[in-house]
Structure 1
Amino acid sequence: MSLQLKGNWNQIKGELKQKFANLTDDDLLYQEGEEDKVLGKLQEKTGESAESLRKIIFKDEN
């Protein structure tokens, strides 16, 4: 995760929780170097594709 994304993670978490009501704070725990783990957990909980989730998470970086 980039430095910019890390700085915006709380905002992104809020957006994800609004879009996917079944997500918990534990689902959205981010630790540096574990981006794939977070993405996998989000895929499992939401049923969304990795690409779809990446678009939501990284929308401000493109």
Structure 2
Amino acid sequence: MDWNRIEGNWKQAKGKLKEQWGKLTDDDLDQIAGKRDQLEGKIQERYGIEKDRIKSDVDDWCGRQTW
């Protein structure tokens, strides 16, 4: 799934993102508002994971979405 669809379905995506990355808060997701670079930065901040791995993890997550 491409990021434009996720951005367009952000309210749906927020719940799925919280399932995957539970340390993200509702406030975090409201601030991110569908912007992938901000999502990756917030995941890096909350989990301390390197940027390249986060990009790969987000790509994997996007690929699993079927809505």
**Fold match by TM threshold 0.5:** yes
Partners of 2:27 and 2:56 in 1: CA distance: 22
Structure 2, unpaired ranges of 5+: none
Partners of 1:53 and 1:19 in 2: CA distance: 10
Aligned residues: 58
- The alignment-based identity, stated in percent, is 33
| Cα pair 1:43 1:50 within 8 Å, conserved | no
Partners of 2:39 and 2:54 in 1: CA distance: 13
- Root mean square deviation, CA, Å: 2.5
Greater per-residue helix proportion: 2
Letter in 2 for 1:24: T
TM-score between both structures, scaled by the size of structure 1: 0.60
TM-score between both structures, scaled by the size of structure 2: 0.57
Residue in 2 that maps onto 1:49: 54
* Superposition deviation, residue 14 in structure 1: 0.6
* Superposition deviation, residue 24 in structure 1: 0.2
Partners of 1:23 and 1:44 in 2: CA distance: 10
| Cα pair 2:23 2:46 within 8 Å, conserved | yes
Letter in 2 for 1:11: Q
